[in-house]
Structure 1
Amino acid sequence: MSRQGLVELEAVLAIATRGSFRAAALELGLSTTALSNLIGKVERQLGVRLFNRTTRSVSLTDAGRTFVAQVTPALRDIQDAMAAVRSQQDTPSGTLRINAFATGAREILVPLVIAFLRRHPQVHVDLVTEGRIVDIVAEGFDLGIRTADLVPSDMIAIPLGAPRSFVAVATPAYLAANGRPRVPPDLLGHQCIRIRLPNGAPYRWHFEKDGNPVQIEVGGPITLDEATLARIAVLDGIGIGFFMEADVREDIAAGRLERVLGDWMPPTAPLCLYYPGRKNPSAAFRAFIEMGRALGRAATRAE
């Protein structure tokens, strides 16, 4: 069969069903001559006649009946699959694969992902979190979430909110017992929750004030690579922790944790939803992008 095999198969089945070249041609939107030529091409490729035709009637040959019986279920499956895919252009459905680092995923899980799922229950979101920078196209993801400064230049980026900031925090009890650091080097005299990067290296805490950046490699009793574990350790009074502000915002508001060195914490790049330009995106993809844009607009208005 040629590359136009689907059209050719549909032509064979239309004639077999209608029992007439004329009726089948009307159904397919072809001229009778064009349909006759198409069937002749199929028969030459197969090396057998599929139809017995006279000026007044058309009927399947034995080979034609065998061919139609075997092809019909497969063609129906193909047509059903194509219809299902086309339906995704109208009604959001199917799976969206999203790659994000864990902190970003925590920030957008409720206001974007869960809100989207509630609005579009036929969509499944596969959210993968990891610290390394991922080529979302090469690894089969539809979308990525990273800070604006880490989005590849060939991607379309949608800011999801205002610039973010880091925060150093400790419990009121720890600060009462050990004092409050006033400048970043004071951290060297404190118990701190050390952070391990995805490549295994220790993370240096970053500070800046009046254009003067400072990096401190803190010391402390424990090294962790996951912010939720670090939060538990800080809340238990082990020492001072370093987080994205969103991860401990509720703890600060409730008085469980207190900020330190707040005047040394400049804003960082905002979180972005990003994706490659694509033709014919699914309805689910379009709907998620639109909700991302709406979230970004709402965050901008709230500033």
Structure 2
Amino acid sequence: MNRADLPALSIFASVAARRSFRRAARDLGISVSAVSHAITGLEASLGVRLLARTTRSVAPTEAGRRLLDRLEPALASIAEAIEIATAQEDRLTGILRFSVPRSAAEMVLVPLASAFIRTHPGVEIDIRAEDGFRDIVAEGFDAGVRFGESLEQDMIAVPLGPTLRAAIVAAPSYLAGRSRPVAPQDLHDHVCIRRRFAGGGLYRWELGKGDEAVEVTVAGGLILDDDRLIVDAALQGAGLAYVFEAQVAAEMADGRLERVLEDWCPGFPGFHLYYPSRRLMRPVLRAFVDSLKR
């Protein structure tokens, strides 16, 4: 390959990502004609068509997709290497992109990120809070957050907080006149607020006491996919809710929610920040991880 093609490869990756010569030119700070010239020259040099162009769209050809599969990780490594070489510890800059469950964003990551950007005002932290698992490498995230029990082996994990504990709660208005559950099987006599996972399945409540562990398929007419909405529904007397203890500490303290089956509520491995072990570590991510360890 001609070394003169190297800048054009970066331009090609930008056009392919944005599906537009104009948007790529704007992001790269060059003219549309310069982008078009670079792509035309690259295709002529390689002897293959990399982009299929119409009056309305631009998309990689099959050859272009094969090239991108190898090219994008290489370009990311180059960018990271340059960032590492030019970084100054006292003037961190850059964007950190995290993919996290909504409960983790609320309970741990947003407070930590807020403290970090106060110390490093040149840093931006972009948090994608949603409960479906994402491939952080393929989708360009710097790191993700999961429970410690569900991490891939090729990831480096850093604890974000202590062990979490579940809580089953309900409003006094719901519990009034009802027998409180004292064992997991008693949940079948109650209305429960159910939770749906991002993948579509319904959560089975995980309970444990000593060496005994059970999963209970609960019943109830209200199904939600967000912890905050589940807490709000419980406050309105919709039924029993299964959430993290930390999410309802204030509501339990002031009596708006009451706890049941406390001795059956287990602890979970806390949230962990994770990132790929095979990638050069960007200085801004290293600084964030170091702040967690401190």
Q: TM-score, normalised by structure 1?
A: 0.66
Please give the alpha-carbon distance, in whole angstroms, between the structure 1 residues aligned to 2:289 and 2:88: 14
- 2:223 aligned counterpart, secondary structure: strand
- 1:127 aligned counterpart, secondary structure: strand
- Find out whether 1:151 has 2:151 as its counterpart: yes
- Find out whether 1:199 has 2:217 as its counterpart: no
1:50-71 CA distance string (max 9 Å, x none): xxxxxxxxxxxxxxxxxxxxxx
In the other structure, the counterpart of 1:265 is 265
- Find out whether 1:113 has 2:113 as its counterpart: yes
Please give the alpha-carbon distance, in whole angstroms, between the structure 2 residues aligned to 1:177 and 1:191: 14
Assess, with a 3 A threshold, how the Cα gap between structure 1 residues 284 and 257 changes in structure 2: closer, same or farther: same
**Following TM superposition, by how much is the alpha carbon of 1:87 offset from its aligned partner in structure 2, in angstroms?**
4.7
Q: Is the 8 A contact 2:83 2:283 kept in 1?
A: no
Assess, with a 3 A threshold, how the Cα gap between structure 1 residues 220 and 87 changes in structure 2: closer, same or farther: same
1:86-127 CA distance string (max 9 Å, x none): 554432111000011111111113431111111111111111
Describe how 1:48-63 pairs up with structure 2 within 5 A. Answer: none
Describe how 1:219-258 pairs up with structure 2 within 5 A. Answer: 219-258=219-258
Q: Is the 8 A contact 2:83 2:282 kept in 1?
A: no
**Following TM superposition, by how much is the alpha carbon of 1:218 offset from its aligned partner in structure 2, in angstroms?**
1.1
Please give the alpha-carbon distance, in whole angstroms, between the structure 2 residues aligned to 1:174 and 1:114: 37
**Following TM superposition, by how much is the alpha carbon of 1:2 offset from its aligned partner in structure 2, in angstroms?**
6.6
Describe how 1:160-239 pairs up with structure 2 within 5 A. Answer: 160-239=160-239
Please give the alpha-carbon distance, in whole angstroms, between the structure 1 residues aligned to 2:132 and 2:205: 19
- 2:231 aligned counterpart, secondary structure: helix
Assess, with a 3 A threshold, how the Cα gap between structure 1 residues 201 and 279 changes in structure 2: closer, same or farther: closer
Describe how 1:13-24 pairs up with structure 2 within 5 A. Answer: none
In the other structure, the counterpart of 1:137 is 137
**Following TM superposition, by how much is the alpha carbon of 1:278 offset from its aligned partner in structure 2, in angstroms?**
5.8
Assess, with a 3 A threshold, how the Cα gap between structure 1 residues 221 and 268 changes in structure 2: closer, same or farther: same
Q: Is the 8 A contact 1:193 1:239 kept in 2?
A: yes
Q: Is the 8 A contact 2:108 2:161 kept in 1?
A: no
Q: Is the 8 A contact 1:234 1:240 kept in 2?
A: yes
**Following TM superposition, by how much is the alpha carbon of 1:289 offset from its aligned partner in structure 2, in angstroms?**
0.7
Moved more, 116-125 or 234-243: 116-125
1:143-202 CA distance string (max 9 Å, x none): 111111111111111112221111110112322232311111111111110111112122
**Following TM superposition, by how much is the alpha carbon of 1:85 offset from its aligned partner in structure 2, in angstroms?**
7.8
Please give the alpha-carbon distance, in whole angstroms, between the structure 1 residues aligned to 2:188 and 2:106: 30
Please give the alpha-carbon distance, in whole angstroms, between the structure 2 residues aligned to 1:275 and 1:176: 48
**Following TM superposition, by how much is the alpha carbon of 1:253 offset from its aligned partner in structure 2, in angstroms?**
2.0
Moved more, 158-167 or 230-239: 158-167
Please give the alpha-carbon distance, in whole angstroms, between the structure 1 residues aligned to 2:223 and 2:159: 32
Describe how 1:24-35 pairs up with structure 2 within 5 A. Answer: none
Unaligned runs of 5+ in 1: 7-81, 295-303
Q: Is the 8 A contact 1:94 1:122 kept in 2?
A: yes
**Following TM superposition, by how much is the alpha carbon of 1:281 offset from its aligned partner in structure 2, in angstroms?**
3.4
Q: Is the 8 A contact 1:156 1:274 kept in 2?
A: yes
Please give the alpha-carbon distance, in whole angstroms, between the structure 2 residues aligned to 1:152 and 1:84: 27
| C-alpha RMSD over aligned residues | 2.4
- 1:288 aligned counterpart, secondary structure: helix
**Following TM superposition, by how much is the alpha carbon of 1:4 offset from its aligned partner in structure 2, in angstroms?**
8.9
| Letter of the 1:187 counterpart | L
**Following TM superposition, by how much is the alpha carbon of 1:5 offset from its aligned partner in structure 2, in angstroms?**
10
- 1:167 aligned counterpart, secondary structure: strand
Q: Which of 1 and 2 has greater Rg? A: 1
**Following TM superposition, by how much is the alpha carbon of 1:83 offset from its aligned partner in structure 2, in angstroms?**
8.8
Aligned length: 219
Assess, with a 3 A threshold, how the Cα gap between structure 1 residues 83 and 184 changes in structure 2: closer, same or farther: closer
- 2:218 aligned counterpart, secondary structure: coil
Please give the alpha-carbon distance, in whole angstroms, between the structure 2 residues aligned to 1:281 and 1:214: 41
Assess, with a 3 A threshold, how the Cα gap between structure 1 residues 158 and 189 changes in structure 2: closer, same or farther: same
Identity of aligned residues (%): 41
In the other structure, the counterpart of 1:298 is none
Please give the alpha-carbon distance, in whole angstroms, between the structure 2 residues aligned to 1:199 and 1:238: 24
Q: Is the 8 A contact 2:102 2:130 kept in 1?
A: yes
Assess, with a 3 A threshold, how the Cα gap between structure 1 residues 197 and 280 changes in structure 2: closer, same or farther: closer
